[in-house]
Amino acid sequence: MSRRVSTLSSSVLGAVRATFAAWTIGATLLLPRIALGQACCAGASAITPGRLALHEQGLLGGQLRAAWMLGSFNRAARFAGSPPGTSEWDFEQDLFGSLRFARRAQLSLLVPVLESRRRTPSTGAEFGAGLGDLNLSARYDFTWAREYRALPGIAALLGVTFPTGRPQESAHLALGSDATGLGAVQLSAGLALERTFGDWLVDVSGLVAKRLNRRSNGVDSELGTQFTGIVAVGYSFPGELAAALVGTYSFEGNASVAGSEVADTAKRQLRLAGAIGATLTDTVRMQGSLFVDPPLAGVGRNSIASSGLTLTLIRSFL
């Protein structure tokens, strides 16, 4: 197992998840009529847990996540399973909140805490933990789903991830399990399109993320620009229950060190997820999901393939 690839991959994917969760919050907020919003809001709650319903002014939530490593992709995009005696388990607890501060705008914050247990035959097992990278994001809806018959919901997305976690070079443990952050400020911008068809909700989103230059051990380095595409389909069942399928694909260009591009450091990752969301009371809802990075040759590069599950609880404010 590569200490460097494992830690950086986990950090990048964590930042993507944090940004995605934040910039999809509240896409159907303040639709003209509540009757038009049932499929939109319930389906969206299954796609991403932090979603403001039509009658909500804000929310607070917590999410538990557990994932285990299936193997890794090398620079030639070939997949190899974890060697005998090698394992990695990653855990995450997220606190997040969203607040509407204007009719078409909202602000969201996500605070992650990460833990990792890693083992190799030569080093044995180790366990590390710490605060991850905080994410702050904003969303502005130019149009809402079903607001206009000829247009989908269209939203602009902005975000910034702060390097509050411990970067790889500051890790104290041999396998870097106590590294919890990317070590650089990340700026994100994107566009989200959303449309409902009866009880169905379709969301297509794109995000571009730029990681700023950072200095480590006297050397400047910069990760490549990252592009992420997300396609999600949600369905609302009778009785406040919804389900969704989500596909996320990210691509990152080559990194640079001391101003020079480093060949064969580009990354790509495919993640598939299924989720179920349920409304428990007027102000409480929960969601569970399963996800996997398909361990198929060609779909990943310089990245770790994992599988896992999440459980989320939301308390909203009317």
pLDDT tens, residue by residue, 82-96: 889 899 999 999 999
Minimal CA–CA distance to 12: which of 133, 112, 129, 114?
133
Q: Is 270 buried (19+), middle (13-18) or exposed (0-12) by CB count in 10 A? A: middle
The stretch 294-309 carries a mean pLDDT of 92
pLDDT tens, residue by residue, 18-31: 333 333 333 222 22
Total domains present in the chain: 1
The stretch 294-313 carries a mean pLDDT of 92
Q: Is 169 buried (19+), middle (13-18) or exposed (0-12) by CB count in 10 A? A: middle
Boundaries of domain holding 258: 3-317
Judge contact between 106 and 99, C-beta under 8 A: yes
- Average predicted confidence (pLDDT) for the chain: 81
Q: 107-129: b or e for each residue (b if 16 or more CB lie within 10 Å)?
A: bbbbbbebbbbbbbeeeeebebe
DSSP code at position 301? B
Q: Is the pLDDT of residue 286 over 60?
A: yes
Min mean pLDDT across 35-39, 103-107, 116-120, 277-281 is at 35-39
Instruction: Report how far residue 170's alpha carbon sits from residue 37's, in angstroms, rounded to the nearest whole number.
Output: 47
pLDDT tens, residue by residue, 227-248: 999 999 989 888 788 899 999 9
Of 114 and 264, more confident: 114
What CATH number is given to the structural domain containing 102? 2.40.128.130
pLDDT band per the 50, 70, 90 thresholds, residue 54 = low
Minimal CA–CA distance to 38: which of 197, 199, 234?
199
Minimal CA–CA distance to 186: which of 236, 223, 235?
223
Q: Is the pLDDT of residue 53 over 80?
A: no
pLDDT tens, residue by residue, 157-208: 999 999 999 988 888 998 889 999 988 999 999 999 999 888 898 999 999 9
- Is the pTM above the cut of 0.95? no
